A and B are shown apart, each in its own frame.
Chain A
Amino acid sequence: MIIAEKKPIEEIIEEIKDFQRILILGCNECVTVCEAGGKKEVEILASALRMYFINKGNEKKIDEKTLERQCDHEYLEEIRENIDDYDAIVSLACGVGVQFAAEKYLTTPLVPGVNTVCLGANEDRGLWTERCQACGSCVLAKTGGICPVSRCAKRVLNGPCGGSTNGKCELGKDVDCAWQLIIDRLRALGKLDDYEKVAPIKDWSTDRAGGPRTVTREDVKI
């Protein structure tokens, strides 16, 4: 899922201080699971902001709403009726949701309430780690299910590099060497021979290098 992190409340205050009627808009998907922008976080942020502005002697109307998703037309349409009641929206969705809402409601300023970090997994309570960089051409079948694009700092496709020591990356002791993980997994799978196969030069045109990406599916279009 998409991993996001709450922005410091001071930063949000700075962005919205000139608006009087504000909607805090959450998203029920990824940001809810990573506890950054779901219904709970919307309630907490709205309550904190209301109290902050009352305290400053500048009471504002701050409402709360959480949509099923902010990256789909049908759910974003739910706020169209009330959109003119607000001078600004603080969206706690990932960057996708914020932009999609901004495209839909041209005259309402959108303020992001979270920093979108990566595509990752919930490794432990309170720990999310990157697993995918959406490079557009998956090599996991050849690398024992461990991604050298997202988990190797150098994105080395025939690794490890010389910076790998005792299974750790030269970036730091806490960073696993992705290629060590790949070799260990290939060994566990009994497919260590695959390691000998040299990976060809990767087609990076499906990555960000090819500009913004789109997926067009004629089979699902109506």
Chain B
Amino acid sequence: MRLKCPTDFRIIRLPCTGKVDIIHILRSFEKGADGVFVVGCMEGDCHFDQGNFRARKKVEQAAKILDQIGVGGERVRMYNLSAGEGPLFAEYAIEMDKLIRELGPSPLKIAKNKKANAA
């Protein structure tokens, strides 16, 4: 399956999306990410029962924090698919890429560049 997929995101593999914590999402932004998307199994199909539900909660909480600090909660999203749905993964990646391009670079990056240019 040779699917076309954006090349500007990094995949971080986890044993289960239930491992995702708010801090992982926040740190991604601190380290320069413009957006984060978490891709878990279909709801109800979690091998560990509730991993993907936990992940969704964490994503929602991270989005709330990002809103509060002015980075923007819309930059983080949760998607669900089954392990056999490669084309759908590529579709989600394209969708996320498009969304982030529309939103532009993270406000953190802009603030940092502004400071660097002023110095």
Measured CA separation A50–B69 after assembly (Å): 9
Known contacts: A44-B65, A57-B114, A59-B115. The answer to whether A51 contacts B26 by CB under 8 A is: yes
* Distance between Cα atoms of A54 and B71 in the complex (Å): 10
Asked, given contacts A9-B65, A48-B68, whether A54 binds B26 with beta carbons under 8 Å apart, the answer is no
- The dominant DSSP class at the B interface is helix
Instruction: Given the known inter-chain contacts A44-B65, A57-B111, A59-B115, please indicate yes or no for A51 contacting B71, CB distance below 8 A.
Output: yes
CB pair A44 B70 closer than 8 Å? no
B51 nearest CB across to chain A (Å): 14
**A10 at interface, CB cutoff 8 A:** yes
A76 to chain B minimum Cβ distance, whole angstroms, is: 25
Asked if residues A44 and B22 are in contact (CB atoms below 8 Å), the reply is yes
Q: Are B115 and A51 in contact (CB under 8 A)?
A: no
The reply on B95 being an interface residue by CB < 8 A is no
Q: Are B107 and A55 in contact (CB under 8 A)?
A: yes
Contact, CB under 8 Å: A55 / B111: yes
Name the one of A43, A48, A57 contacting B69, with C-beta atoms under 8 angstroms: A48
Q: Count of chain B residues with Cβ under 8 Å from any Cβ of A? A: 18
B27 smallest CB distance to A (angstroms):
6
Determine chain A's interface SS by DSSP, over half rule: helix
In contact, B114 and A47 (Cβ under 8 angstroms): no
Q: How far is the CA of A40 from the CA of B114 in the complex (A)?
A: 31
For A50, give its contact among B23, B30, B114 (CB under 8 Å): B30
Complex CA distance for A57 and B30, rounded to whole angstroms: 14
Pick from A10, A43, A54: contact of B68, CB below 8 A.
A10
Does B112 sit at the interface, judged by CB under 8 A?
yes
- B21 interface hit (Cβ, 8 Å): yes
A55/B71 in contact, CB under 8 A = yes
Determine whether B94 belongs to the interface, using a CB cutoff of 8 Å to chain A.
Answer: no
Shortest Cβ gap from A44 to chain B (Å): 5
Residues of B within 8 A of A59 (CB): 115
A100 in the interface (beta carbon within 8 A)? no
- B108, CB-defined interface residue at 8 Å: yes
Nearest-neighbour CB distance to chain B for A27, whole angstroms, equals: 17
Tell me the residues in window 39-61 of chain A with beta carbons closer than 8 Å to chain B beta carbons.
40, 43-44, 47-52, 54-57, 59
A59 vs B21: C-alpha distance when bound (angstroms): 25
6 closest A-B pairs (Cβ-Cβ)?
Answer: A52-B69, A47-B26, A43-B23, A55-B70, A48-B65, A44-B22
A to B CB contacts below 8 Å, 28 in the list: A9-B65, A9-B68, A10-B68, A40-B23, A43-B23, A44-B22, A44-B23, A47-B26, A47-B30, A48-B26, A48-B65, A48-B68, A48-B69, A51-B26, A51-B29, A51-B30, A51-B71, A51-B108, A52-B69, A52-B70, A54-B108, A54-B112, A55-B70, A55-B71, A55-B108, A55-B111, A57-B111, A57-B114
